[in-house]
């Protein structure tokens, strides 16, 4: 029974993501540029809104199990950078 409930919750979350319009390709391109240039060896990005995951991706040699320490990642400044990259298209 729990497996079935999990399946339905997962399906609903996927429908919610598809019905919400977010523009993540600019963010993906920027992160991929950083990885391709060698500035970073990889990156993992997880973005939430209202306690729901709205975006998750890994770049370069990073995998879901990759562990790194970077104090900047918890910085509010990073949130503004990501927001600006995602919203840049909407401002044009």
Q: Kindly state whether residue 15 falls inside one of the protein's structural domains.
A: no
pLDDT in the model for residue 28: 92
Q: Kindly state whether residue 2 falls inside one of the protein's structural domains.
A: no
pLDDT in tens, 5-20: 444 445 555 555 554 6
Q: Mean pLDDT of all residues in the chain?
A: 74
Q: Kindly state whether residue 8 falls inside one of the protein's structural domains.
A: no
pLDDT in the model for residue 72: 62
Our count of domains for the chain comes to 1
pLDDT in tens, 28-67: 999 999 999 998 899 888 888 888 888 899 999 999 898 8
Domain encompassing residue 74: 23-91
d(CA 20, CA 11): 14
Q: Kindly state whether residue 12 falls inside one of the protein's structural domains.
A: no
Q: Kindly state whether residue 31 falls inside one of the protein's structural domains.
A: yes
Q: Kindly state whether residue 82 falls inside one of the protein's structural domains.
A: yes
Tell me the two tokens of residue 23: 């523009």
What DSSP string describes 53-70? Answer: EEEEEEEET--TT-----
């Amino acid at each position: 029974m729990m497996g079935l409930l999990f399946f339905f919750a997962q399906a609903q979350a996927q429908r919610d993501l598809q019905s919400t319009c977010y523009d993540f390709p600019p963010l993906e391109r920027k992160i991929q540029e950083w990885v391709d240039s060698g500035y970073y060896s990889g990156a993992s990005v997880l973005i939430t809104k209202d306690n729901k995951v709205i975006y998750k991706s890994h770049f370069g040699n990073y995998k879901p199990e990759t562990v790194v320490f970077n104090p900047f990642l918890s910085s509010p400044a990073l949130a503004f950078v990501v927001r600006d990259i995602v919203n840049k298209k909407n401002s044009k």
